Amino acid sequence: MNFQSILISLLTITLSYSSCPLTSAPRRPVRYSTPNLEDLPQRAIDTLDTPDPETKVILYSNNTWSYYRPTLQTLDELPVYREHWDTTQVFAYRSIELADLPPVIDLNLISALSDFHYPVKGKVISKYGRRGRRNHNGVDIPLLMGEPVYATFDGRIRYSKYNTGGFGNLVIIRHKNGLETWYAHLSKRNVETEQYVKAGQIIGFIGSTGRSRGPHLHYEMRYCDQTFDPEFIVDFESGQIRYQTFALEKSFFNINSRASDQLEEEDDWDDSFSLLASESNDNTSEDILERITNPQKSQAKAGINQSNAVYHTIRQGDMLSKLAIRYGVSVDQICRLNGISRTTILRLGRKLRIK
């Protein structure tokens, strides 16, 4: 029996089951009792390409198929894990300039074989963009100390060590499409360089190491060392990925190119961004560098921010809705200013910013 005749017999069985039933009884699920696929000799008859150049689909003579998964040895030989592979320094593409990159880089983010998992889920309190004279090259998401941090995609650990430049415990994963994801200020790293990881694998835990003023994840996405706003790709609040493939335009490597300015569905939270931006100027881990390099200016800035701010210390019986009425603000505003949600449990003695 050759492949075609099996196919025809399968089609015949399918057609005979799907022809109009004479009664209104619920249709039984289609069962291929004969031929028994498991009993047929399995012989590879063809391979098909997939969008992922390293992955093939193999067709078998018994009308089944499977993915061909490359071995780790094969992965080791991929140029992306051999070239510009530096496990000692954060920047690995020193010989490649921004000008050398093409106008658009097509990033294959997820497929049947490569998954996505949010690094952490939470509110971005400090976005990608300019911070005075400095650049904030990633996003900051405050979380509880010790919460797990996950690999965003499958990949290989390029860097895992304590970074004295301010990142603290830093893990950098290089993914097969060339994208790198950076996870900074971790309390503990869970992976070693050269190791392969799967999307969703715990690579470390939330901390406040390096230049950080509280437990949070500083998360970056880079391509050839160039940063772009990770919010183009990840919706951190919902933990969802925005695209299956992403056209990374060269213009996105500009520090002023922010996802929030370009994603239509986010237009309605632009107001909260400006509120957050003014708040987070005071709050980012990286601002401490400015305190070191320019203490007078940063003190003055902090003073201005504080003089306009209104705080409330939580007492027994306080609820967000009551506070909102008492101070004449919205519950959403209080949530935004403090990076909390409507369901956050308010600890007694906690100081909330109201305005």
Residues that bind Zn ion (CB under 5 A): 140, 218
Name the minimum Å distance from CB 93 to Zn ion: 21
Is 19 in a helix, a strand, or coil? coil
CA distance 7 to 4: 5
Closest contact distance (angstroms) between CB of 170 and Zn ion is 12
* Gap between the Cα atoms of 294 and 102, Å rounded: 38
Residue closer to Zn ion, measured from CB, 158 or 218: 218
Compare residues 154 and 287 and give the one whose CB is closer to Zn ion. Answer: 287
- In angstroms, give the least distance from the CB of 293 to Zn ion: 17
Q: Where are the beta strands (DSSP E) in 126-269?
A: 129-131, 134-136, 139-142, 148-150, 155-163, 168-174, 179-186, 188-189, 196-197, 202-205, 216-223, 226-228, 234-235, 240-241, 245-249
Which amino acid, one-letter code, is at 125?
A: I
Label residue 27 exposed, middle or buried (CB < 10 Å: 0-12, 13-18, 19+). Answer: exposed
Nearest C-alpha neighbor of 181 from the set 160, 165, 166: 160
CB closer to Zn ion out of 190 and 208? 208
The H-or-E segment that residue 335 falls in is helix 331-338
Residue closest to Zn ion when measured from CB atoms: 218
Q: Between 218 and 258, name the residue whose CB sits nearer to Zn ion.
A: 218
Q: Cβ 94 to Zn ion, closest distance in Å? A: 23
Q: Nearest 5°: phi and psi at 281?
A: -50, -30
CB of 353 to Zn ion, least distance (A): 20
3-state secondary structure of 51: coil
- Cβ closest to Zn ion, residue 140 vs residue 229: 140
Written as one letter, the residue type at 34 is T
Angle between helices 331-338 and 270-280 (to 10 degrees): 40
Beta carbon nearer to Zn ion, 176 or 218: 218
Q: Tokens 């305190």 — which residue? A: 291
Smaller CB distance to Zn ion: residue 174 or 218?
218
Nearest approach, Cβ of 231 to Zn ion (angstroms)? 13
Q: Residue 314 and residue 265: Cα distance in Å, rounded?
A: 34
CB of 332 to Zn ion, least distance (A): 24
